[in-house]
Structure 1
Amino acid sequence: MIHYKTSDEVQLIKDSAEILGRAHGEVAKFVKAGVKTSFLDKIAEEFIRDHGAVPSFKGYSGFPASLCISVNEVVVHGFPSEYTLKDGDIISIDCGVFHQGFHSDCAYTYPVGEVSPSVLSLLKHTKESLYLGIEQAVFGNRIGDIGHAIQKYVESLGYTVVRELVGHGLGKNLHESPEVPNYGKKGSGPVLKSGLVIAIEPMVNLGSRNIVQERDGWTIRTSDRKPSAHFEHTVAIFEDRTEILTTHKYIEENFNK
């Protein structure tokens, strides 16, 4: 069952997303070689709680941290750890915030230091695919239009799309209907109606689309251990517009400054 939001509820999600965006911005200041990923998690959790909100991920189905931190070949759901970032890594940081009864969700993949041109290109094009998906997330279109746009673009460049993991609705719950795949056929799936709030999150691999789950029950990595990139926004659909509720602005203001 899809839960459509009122304009007041969308505003509450946007308020949550503002805290989330600023938390991402605080973390971005410290994304560099020599920093432990557990330290990034601490920064995020302290900022979120200091602003009267709760990290959506911590404790969700037993997840142990506030951030999903996924380095290099890890696609999503990696744990913060004592791993120290090094030159040439890429790191996906995914975070959610629960505030005033509503969740927001957003992710960004960073290059650490000098990263190979092919991997930088993967990051650039994965981010571009997110916005191509958002362009299709308009009133009257269908879910399949979003995934089709993402898939067509990244596959035209020789990349692959992860199939087993998808975007999702969100609101009072972190994961709601409908699922939002990053692949699909034009004109397929549920119609996009006013009040729909969804997280669109391309997960794109440099090599094979195949993935494996590690023994911790969470961490997902590419089967060929080639890098994977992940970008995400929460968006709201209205009859006359689509609004991106989350922001990467604070990340891009603070990263590498």
Structure 2
Amino acid sequence: MIELKTPAEVDRMHVAGRFVAEVLTEVGRLADVGVNLMDLEHHVRGMIKRRGAESCYWDYAPSFGKGPFRNVICLSVNDAVLHGLPHDYVLRDGDVLTADLAVSVDGWTADSARTVIVGTPAEEDLRIIRATEEALEAAIEAARPGNRLGDISAAIWAVAREYGYPVNTEFGGHGIGRTMHEDLHVPNKGKAGRGMQLKPGLTLALEPWFARTTDRIVFDPDGWTIRSADGSRTAHSEHTVAVTEDAPRVLTRREAELGNS
């Protein structure tokens, strides 16, 4: 069932969204050459505990994955792009790191992801990150009442085509609110004018992610970490967005992005 949120409920989701933005900003600041992924995981655990928030990932047990997820943040490196299981890995110069976080504060949830480069950036890595960020902004712009779900998917796909990146449709955006995953799957590829009409109060996690040279994915033996099938590098950008009577409301903007709101 799709639940439209009241303006007051969207405000409560925004509280969670601001905290998610704060944590992802901190992870980006700490991600450096020589830092272990497990140090980042434990740092985020501390932030969540001090805030009195709840991780949406801890004990998460969907149809894929081996057993419940027992971490509070997804950390994916290089060719890994989704559901990266934090493990004993020390970041190296030039690594591409995606951090994905969903938390609940007082019963309302927000979800966001960002990709950063550790140390010295390669131009091709900057390019694919930029593509996901532009695709996310295009998706947000399409999240207006009267538009349809396919308009969001088409907006993401258009940016991917412009950059020359293939698009996987197995994993994409989703509804969000009282829980991390509510009804509605938002593919990162689609046709404008198709699908459900968007209405004020609809809240979505929009998350374009691309691999450089493939639309196929493989799973690590851990059952969680998803990688590009050909080992090419990846990037992922995500925000929680509310459809309103006026402009789309982004609930997980990081402070550095606020000028783009």
Query: TM-score of the superposition, structure 2-length normalised?
Result: 0.93
Separation in structure 2 between the aligned mates of residue 145 and residue 158 of structure 1, nearest angstrom: 20
Instruction: Report the secondary structure of 1:229's partner residue.
Output: strand
Q: Give unmatched runs, 5+ long, in structure 1.
A: 253-257
Report how far residue 125 of structure 1 moved. Answer: 1.5
Instruction: Report the secondary structure of 2:23's partner residue.
Output: helix
Paired letter, 1:118: E
Q: Which residue of 2 aligns with 1:181?
A: 187
Q: Which residue of 1 aligns with 2:65?
A: none
Q: Which residue of 1 aligns with 2:69?
A: 63
Runs of 4+ in structure 1 deviating by more than 4 angstroms, as ranges, are none
Separation in structure 2 between the aligned mates of residue 251 and residue 79 of structure 1, nearest angstrom: 27
Report how far residue 248 of structure 1 moved. Answer: 2.4
Paired letter, 1:245: L
Same amino acid, percent of matched pairs: 38
Q: Give unmatched runs, 5+ long, in structure 2.
A: 62-67
Deviations 1:146-178 (A, max 9, x none): 111111111221111121101000111110111
Q: Which residue of 2 aligns with 1:148?
A: 154
Q: Which residue of 2 aligns with 1:206?
A: 212
Report how far residue 247 of structure 1 moved. Answer: 1.5
1:222 aligns with 2:201: no
Instruction: Report the secondary structure of 1:103's partner residue.
Output: strand
Query: TM-score of the superposition, structure 1-length normalised?
Result: 0.95
Q: Which residue of 1 aligns with 2:129?
A: 123
Q: Which residue of 2 aligns with 1:134?
A: 140
1:1-257 matched pairs, under 5 angstroms: 1-61=1-61, 62-249=68-255
Deviations 1:191-248 (A, max 9, x none): 1111000000001111111111222221110100001100000000112221000022
How many equivalent pairs are there?
252
Separation in structure 1 between the aligned mates of residue 70 and residue 173 of structure 2, nearest angstrom: 21
Report how far residue 26 of structure 1 moved. Answer: 2.1
CA contact 2:79–2:234 (8 Å) conserved in 1? yes
Q: Which residue of 2 aligns with 1:255?
A: none
Paired letter, 2:164: G
Instruction: Report the secondary structure of 1:164's partner residue.
Output: coil
Instruction: Report the secondary structure of 1:16's partner residue.
Output: helix
CA contact 2:18–2:254 (8 Å) conserved in 1? no
